[in-house]
Structure 1
């Protein structure tokens, strides 16, 4: 059996950043993506998520986003289903 070639993204560390839609979380997500991490950011606000999309594109990086409120148990369960 042969091993398929790995892409660079397959080898990148995966980092989950909560609160990625503003402040320190947004800066951390953009910084880590720029450092080569595959970043998954959690957001509670679609409007602020749009701002992160623009800022990450301006920085030439990609941040994957999904809606999750870590203070809400149901939101956390749904986020990991």
Structure 2
């Protein structure tokens, strides 16, 4: 869980790369977030990104250099709508 985000409610761009993050739980409070960099962390599956489904303004999400690998899930549900 990513703690203390209640103080970051008005942040629109956030770089959390290189932090050994395993889950995005806690970020759902950041409703104005439009760009999020989660590259080079420890995210291992798409379910770790579930809380981001509630961040309606999110347009750019970088999860490169994580060990997500190939999974039999519908990855299109994690794409940002335009």
Instruction: Tell me if TM exceeds 0.5.
Output: no
Q: TM-score, normalised by structure 1?
A: 0.38
More helix by percentage: 1
Larger radius of gyration: 1
More strand by percentage: 1
